[in-house]
Amino acid sequence: MSQSVWKEFIEPNKQYAANFGSKGELPLPPGRKLAIITCMDARINVYAELGIKEGDAHIIRNAGGSARDALRSVIISQRLLGTREIAIFHHTGCGMLTFTTDQLRKIVKDSDPTNPALKVVDEIDFLDFPEIEQSLKEDVKFLKENPLVLPGTEITGWVYEVETGQIKHIA
Amino acid sequence: MSQSVWKEFIEPNKQYAANFGSKGELPLPPGRKLAIITCMDARINVYAELGIKEGDAHIIRNAGGSARDALRSVIISQRLLGTREIAIFHHTGCGMLTFTTDQLRKIVKDSDPTNPALKVVDEIDFLDFPEIEQSLKEDVKFLKENPLVLPGTEITGWVYEVETGQIKHIA
């Protein structure tokens, strides 16, 4: 099953630490006062795509790049660590387009039908969506209208194309 | 307030897309069947620290690197996209060590005492923790014992040192 990929962290990390330079002196609050919300998708390299460097921005990632799922982190980012701008990215070819919450609940329960503990999956909203530009606009609206997000926060919405590496400003 | 940092995404992204190579052909499921959970902290560059490349691993990031907060994403990662290993990272100098949920709720409500809409913050558990190795062990345990996580998943726990760039295998 598992291939213990963690064993392959060691050597690259030694090289990274050996060339760490002055990064150890970076402060806790993000220097560019920015929080980015994007998907956990394996093809997304946030730093390289956007020219972000260590110390610049909070990076929140979850299945789909959901703003709802990110709300706890956004509040901490703004109220305790001084960020004042949010950029939300959804992307083409997203796994969230391939299923519904009901289907995934069934997959989990059917994986071991004799296990009653799996029924707890019925309490999880998997926040799937059928189309990315619409979901992006809804997420921007969700944060703009949320009373727990600081008034005056600049919030933008973007699509990242996994086929080309390009970003598009949508909202 | 905001400095429109998003305007600075455009040029680096053009360069990234111009050198995209064959990355546009990467499949949706992570090639190394790995999911990484880590903090949103601005100083954390997951790709560089661990030698990860586009297509390798799901990367889930939230305030603190909380496994509880990541559960929705982990289930999607495993059940729909084939990951079979999870590595959780907490880090030194984490913002989660600097406050309690009660304190943050008070900060939010005190920011506009006449606004009753802010009382909804009392429903949010901010998942703060007082110490990183203990919180890491609890998060590893949480996933190992969770019935919704696939049996047999290899789950490891790590501390990342923001002062040195080094990782340490803890659990």
For A3-31, what is each residue's pLDDT tens digit?
Answer: 899 999 999 999 999 999 999 999 999 99
Give the minimum alpha-carbon distance from A155 to chain B in angstroms, rounded to a whole number: 9
Both tokens of residue B163? 């002062």
Q: What is the mean pLDDT of residues A163-170?
A: 98
Residue A101: which of A72, A71, A63 has the closest Cα? A63
Task: Provide φ and ψ at B83, rounded to 5°.
Answer: -75, 150
Strand partners, A35: A58, A86
Give the minimum alpha-carbon distance from B43 to chain A in angstroms, rounded to a whole number: 5
- B49 interaction partners in chain A (CB closer than 8 Å): 12-13, 16
Residue A44: which of B77, B39, B59 has the closest Cα? B59
pLDDT at position A1 over 90? no
pLDDT at position B2 over 70? no
The answer to whether A149 touches A88, Cβ cutoff 8 Å, is no
Both tokens of residue A80? 């305790």
Is the ipTM beyond the 0.95 threshold?
yes
Contact with chain B for residue A23, Cβ under 8 A: yes
- Taking CA atoms, what residue in A is nearest to B85? A2
Task: Provide φ and ψ at B132, rounded to 5°.
Answer: -85, -35
The per-residue pLDDT for A3 is: 83
B117/A98 Cβ within 8 A:
no
* pTM greater than 0.90 (yes/no): yes
A127/B72 Cβ within 8 A:
yes
Strand partners, A6: none
Cβ partners under 8 Å of residue A50, min gap 6: A36, A167, B9, B12, B13
AA identity, residue A115: N
Sign for the CA dihedral angle at B52, B54, B55, B61 comes to positive
Say whether B113 sits in a helix, a strand or coil.
coil
Confidence of residue B116 (pLDDT cuts 50, 70, 90): very high
The per-residue pLDDT for A2 is: 59
- Taking CA atoms, what residue in B is nearest to A98? B80
pLDDT digits (tens, 9 = 90+) for B36-84: 999 999 999 999 999 999 999 999 999 999 999 999 999 999 999 999 9
Dihedral, CA of residue B110, residue B103, residue B108 and residue A60, to nearest 10: 160
CA B154 from centroid of its chain's CA atoms: 18
pLDDT at position B1 over 80? no
pLDDT at position B150 over 90? yes
Of A72, A87, A104, which is closest to B127 when you measure between CB atoms? A72
In eight-state DSSP terms, residue A114 is T
Residue B50: which of A40, A22, A51, A10 has the closest Cα? A10
In the sheet that holds B167-169, the strands lie side by side as: A167-169, A154-160, A85-91, A34-39, A57-62, B57-62, B34-39, B85-91, B154-160, B167-169
The answer to whether B57 touches B82, Cβ cutoff 8 Å, is no
Which of A6, A148, A163, A168 to probe by mutation at the B interface, max B CB count within 10 Å? A6
pLDDT at position A103 over 90? yes
